[in-house]
Amino acid sequence: MNRLIFEGRFLVNMVGSIVRQDELRAVHSRIEWERMYRTADYHRIANITYLGLLGYGGKIPERWQERFFERYQEALKFSDVCEEDEQEILMMMDMMELSCVVLTSCKVRRLYQIPEMAGSSPLRLMFDETNYTLAKGYLVDLGYETDQTYKGYGERMRRISGFCVEIYHKLPFRSYPYTKNMSRILDSAYIRDLCQYVRTLSLENRFVFMIAQAAYHYAQDELLIREVLDLYLYHRAWREQMNQEYIDGRVAEFGIDGLAAKLLQLAYMWFGAKEEILPAEQPEDIGVFDILENRILSRGEISHETDRQALRLACLIQRDKEKEARRDRREAFYEACGKLWSAFMRKVRWIFPEYRYMCAVYPFLEKVPVLLPFYWIRRGIRLLKCMVTGKSKKETT
């Protein structure tokens, strides 16, 4: 078995047991805790994994026990500041009359039994290009600094307290169908309570956003266990209140309805109790979930993808990347040509100076401007003589 899959399944079983409050399985001595920690940290579940390791005592090396504990401490600190810092940002945007849409917020923490089990997910805001620039300036005034840049989309900004906010001027999704349908979701956002310019998504549209994003990340081999867990908790908490018919229609517009159903089913199989699993949506061939699981846990190293929607989405994304690469190469070519042309024109202007400069050197030219070409030749001959005599002097010395 692939090592990443083994580690991923171990972590999924542990997190699932914690969420369901089941009895934890025994830990085997053959576990490489350094790799286990790095896998848990990659999937952003190291803090919740720490809770599962508390009962194993001396079976875990002290060094890696401390590393898991550090992630848990970070989650505790994040819990203390996240809601206050998030509210501060949203109030600032509303006061400055900057229209924006809240894509994700720290409210997902309320779905966990204890807040520190949740991930340290950033506040994500969508602006138009004008408000994006202004919002970045206000965030700098609040003490935020750019932590990561998403070329062509936006950036991630971090405060010394650890709270992060991601601001976008373009949705971080490739392919026209995705951007078009995501824009429709944002257009339906409504004004947030106690605000005039900050908008948020409805229950159904937020779930559509989450499941569409999960499918997109799956096609890119970037889907994390944490994202699947958040998806499960959100659906479990609000499934009775959400309009499933509306959700099915919106997801179908993305062309991922079958893939989305499989990912949601997998989330329930990983983290849900037996009575929670969605039997009506199980396919005849249960092996499709092994394919999904292996691809997610191996980060795409083991991919025997058979889902047509996933293959089509990956193809559309790759096509868009290639198109962008061609555009970048074309822009780089034009830029290089522009530099060469500028260098050539500088040499031309040096060999054939403008009329005013030549008049300053040769005042007689003002009386007879038609002699400008003759004086260009005269100046060139004088410069060549200076160059030759300068070289001869160097050779004699």
Q: Counting every residue, how long is the chain?
A: 397
Residue among 212, 186, 270 at smallest CA distance from 236: 270
- Residue after which a domain boundary falls, among 304, 323, 344: 344
Quick check: is 260 in a domain?
yes
Quick check: is 199 in a domain?
no
Give the rounded percent of residues in the chain with a pLDDT score beyond 70: 93
- Same structural domain, 238 and 337: yes
Range(s) of the domain holding residue 383: 352-396
- Same structural domain, 380 and 325: no
How high is the mean pLDDT of the chain? 88
pLDDT digits (tens, 9 = 90+) for 116-142: 899 888 999 999 988 999 999 999 999
- Same structural domain, 220 and 338: yes
Quick check: is 235 in a domain?
yes
- Same structural domain, 247 and 336: yes
Quick check: is 165 in a domain?
no
pLDDT digits (tens, 9 = 90+) for 45-67: 999 999 888 876 667 888 888 99
Angle of the 3-20 helix axis to the 33-42 helix axis, nearest 10: 70
- Same structural domain, 296 and 357: no
Quick check: is 244 in a domain?
yes
d(CA 322, CA 328): 10
Quick check: is 306 in a domain?
yes
Residue among 160, 194, 183 at smallest CA distance from 90: 194
- Same structural domain, 313 and 222: yes
d(CA 210, CA 224): 13
Residue among 231, 203, 270, 271 at smallest CA distance from 119: 231
- Residue after which a domain boundary falls, among 328, 344, 360: 344
Residue among 140, 219, 222 at smallest CA distance from 178: 219
Quick check: is 117 in a domain?
no
pLDDT digits (tens, 9 = 90+) for 1-40: 578 888 889 899 999 989 988 877 766 667 888 999 999 9
Q: In this structure, how many other beta carbons lie within 10 angstroms of the beta carbon of residue 178? A: 22
- Same structural domain, 339 and 378: no
Contact 31, 3 (CB under 8 A): no
pLDDT bracket for residue 397 (50, 70, 90) = very low
- Same structural domain, 219 and 340: yes
Q: What pLDDT is attached to residue 285?
A: 65
- Same structural domain, 315 and 282: yes
More confident residue, 281 or 94: 94
- Same structural domain, 268 and 383: no
Q: What pLDDT is attached to residue 280?
A: 53
* β-strands 154-158, 145-150 pairing: antiparallel
Quick check: is 224 in a domain?
yes
Q: In this structure, how many other beta carbons lie within 10 angstroms of the beta carbon of residue 359? A: 17
- Same structural domain, 222 and 336: yes
- pTM to 2 decimal places: 0.84
Q: How far is CA 88 from CA 85, 92, 137, 252, in A?
A: 5, 6, 15, 37
- Residue after which a domain boundary falls, among 344, 363, 381: 344
Number of domains the chain contains: 2
- Same structural domain, 278 and 366: no
Q: How far is CA 287 from CA 1, 225, 256, 262, 269, in A?
A: 16, 19, 19, 11, 13
Residue among 54, 9, 71 at smallest CA distance from 225: 9
Which phi-psi region, left, alpha or beta, contains residue 242 (left: φ > 0; alpha: ψ -120 to 50)? Answer: beta
pLDDT digits (tens, 9 = 90+) for 275-329: 776 655 555 567 888 899 999 999 888 888 888 999 999 999 999 999 989 999 9
